[in-house]
Amino acid sequence: MYRDIDRINLRTMRSAAVVAHYARPDELLPHERAALDEVQAEVRGGAILDIGVGGGRTVTALREVSTDYLGIDYSREMVEASQARYPDVRFAHADARHMADIADASIDLAVFSCNGISMVGHDDRLAIMREVHRVLKPQGVFLFTTYNRNSPEANAGFCFPEFEASPNPARLLVRSIRHLRDTTISVVQRLRHVRHEVHTPEYAVINDKCHNHGVMLYYITLAQQRRQLQAAGFDANALAYDCAGQRIVDDTTLDSMALIARKAHAQRVAPPGE
């Protein structure tokens, strides 16, 4: 089941169109910015690990905090795109589930932006949290974003691609052809991938509309996410921000959350399967 999720998502993340899509932006999202602003003073100048760096969107913002920076991604094509944009910055092709080349207790800040931790199945997600805990220093911080199961998007089902009309006939024709193409791709990929969805009391893995229904994305509530973090050895009360950049007091129905998780002192990490 989880191998199918990994296969579907990695194929999408390696495609030329998706790599090009992620190689353009160059700024943090509001909740990423709010979370980074919260922790940057305590990690300034420290070792930063940028997991799922994609096309390099987060590089500039994180290197303003520290030039002791390493960006990794499990898509070799994404790593190459980032390296092309930032030839003097360190990048590596690596998988967050098995970061064997990164030493224990060597990282001050680990960042997994753009809901990247939601691109793997349940067991792999837990493995990533344990690996991040391993590589963080005792006072280290894990900043990541994830999809919110309490959002309308979690139950949206099939969604047609957005269409933007134009008064210009030629432009309208081009957009109509593109919309028809994207709709066809969305229908085909939805029919192909929806059978791999997973729905449990703790989480759901959904064939989301992202990339024309070309991915399987993990959705979880804030309460359940905090429980997962605690089981992986982090403090129980991770700070959280909604995707508008506002601190979450109780809960949110917006579709993405940013969390700040700190290593718990003398906390035993639950082994796999416990």
Alpha-carbon distance 240 to 127, whole Å? 21
- What are the tens digits of pLDDT across the range 110-136? 999 999 999 999 999 999 999 999 999
**Domains present along the chain, CATH in parentheses:** 2-148+222-262 (3.40.50.150)
What value, to the nearest 5°, has the Cα angle with vertex 82 and ends 111 and 216?
60
Span 34-41, average pLDDT:
98
Alpha-carbon distance 108 to 216, whole Å? 30
CB 81 within 8 A of CB 49: no
φ, ψ (nearest 5 deg) of residue 166: -150, 140
pLDDT of residue 273 exceeding 80: no
Q: What is the pLDDT of residue 268?
A: 45
- What are the tens digits of pLDDT across the range 152-201? 999 999 999 999 999 998 999 999 999 999 999 999 999 999 999 999 99
pLDDT of residue 269 exceeding 90: no
pLDDT of residue 270 exceeding 80: no
Span 138-160, average pLDDT:
95
Span 138-158, average pLDDT:
95
* Residue 266 confidence class, pLDDT cut points 50, 70, 90: very low
Alpha-carbon distance 238 to 260, whole Å? 5
Calculate what percentage of the chain has a pLDDT beyond 70: 96
What predicted TM-score, i.e. pTM, was given to this entire model?
Answer: 0.90
> How many CB atoms lie under 10 A from the CB of residue 223?
11
pLDDT of residue 234 exceeding 60: yes
